[in-house]
Amino acid sequence: MKKLLFFAFLLSFSSYAQEEHAWIYFKDKPNVQQALENPSTILSAKAIARKSLRGTPIDVRDIPVNEEYISIIKDYDGISVKAKSKWMNCIHVIGSIQNINSLSALDFVSEIEFANKTLSSRSQSQVARRNNKLESNFDFIYGPAENQTKMLSTDFLHENDFTGEGITIAVMDAGFPNVNSMATFERLRSQNKLLGGYDFPSRSNDFSNSNLNNHGTLVLATMAGFKEESFTGTAPDASYYLFRTEVGATETPVEETYWVEAAEWADSLGVDIINTSLGYTLFDNANYSYTPGDMDGNTTFISRGANIATEKGMLVVTSAGNRGDENYFKIIGAPADANVLSVGAVTPNREYAFFSSTGPSADERTKPDVAAQGHQIVTVDQFDNLIQANGTSFSSPILAGSIASLWQLNPEWTNLELMQIVRESASTYSNPNSKLGYGIPDFQQILIEFDDTLDNEESEDILEFTLFPNPVQNTLRFSKPSGQNFDLTLFDSLGHVLLQKNNVQNEIDLTGFSRGIYIVMFEQNNSRNSFLILKE
172: β partners: 243, 276
Per-residue pLDDT of the chain (536 residues; tens, 9 = 90+): 334 433 333 233 333 447 899 999 999 999 999 999 899 999 999 999 898 888 888 999 999 999 999 999 999 999 999 999 999 999 999 999 999 999 999 999 999 999 998 886 543 333 333 333 344 445 789 999 999 999 999 999 999 999 999 999 999 999 999 999 999 999 999 999 999 999 999 999 999 998 899 999 999 999 999 998 899 999 999 999 999 999 988 999 999 999 999 999 999 999 999 999 999 999 999 999 999 999 999 999 999 999 999 999 999 999 999 999 998 999 999 999 999 999 999 999 999 999 999 999 999 999 999 999 999 999 999 999 999 999 999 999 999 999 999 999 999 999 999 999 999 999 999 999 999 999 999 999 999 887 554 344 434 444 456 677 878 888 888 776 655 678 888 888 767 788 888 888 778 889 889 888 888 888 776 666 777 788 88
Radius of gyration of the chain (CA): 23
Q: How far apart are CA 248 and CA 75, in angstroms?
A: 30
**Closest of 260, 172, 252 to residue 216, by C-alpha:** 172
Q: Please give the class, per CATH, of domain 143-450.
A: alpha beta
**Whole-number Å distance between alpha carbons of 475 and 471:** 10
Separation CA 384–CA 134 (nearest Å): 22
pTM recorded for the entire structure: 0.78
Pick the CATH number of 20-114 from 3.30.70.250, 3.30.70.80, 3.90.1150.10, 3.40.50.2020: 3.30.70.80
- 8 A C-beta contact, residue 461 and residue 480: yes
173 in active site? yes
356 contact partners, CB below 8 Å, separation of at least 6:
320, 321, 322, 324, 344, 345, 346, 368, 371, 374, 392, 395, 435
Q: Which of 21, 92, 158, 215 is catalytic?
A: 215
Gap between the Cα atoms of 441 and 439, Å rounded: 6
Question: Which position among 62, 173, 237, 442 bears the catalytic label?
Answer: 173
CA distance 90 to 83: 9
375 is known as an active-site residue: no
- Residue intervals of the chain classified under CATH 3.30.70.80 are 20-114
> How much is the pLDDT for 285?
95
Parts of the chain belonging to CATH 2.60.40 = 457-535
Helix (H, G, I), strand (E, B) or coil at 53: helix
CATH 1.20.120 for domain 457-535: no
Cβ partners under 8 Å of residue 125, min gap 6: none
- 109 forms beta bridges with 26
Q: Which of 303, 393, 405, 434 is the catalytic position?
A: 393
* 123 counts as catalytic: no
What is the pLDDT at residue 491?
A: 85
Taking Cα atoms as reference points, which of 273, 270, 284 lies closest to residue 306? Answer: 273
* Burial (Cβ within 10 Å: 0-12, 13-18, ≥19) of residue 324: buried
Residues of the chain with CATH 3.40.50.200: 143-450
Nearest-angstrom CA–CA distance, 263 and 316:
10
pLDDT value, residue 519:
84
CB 316 within 8 A of CB 334: no
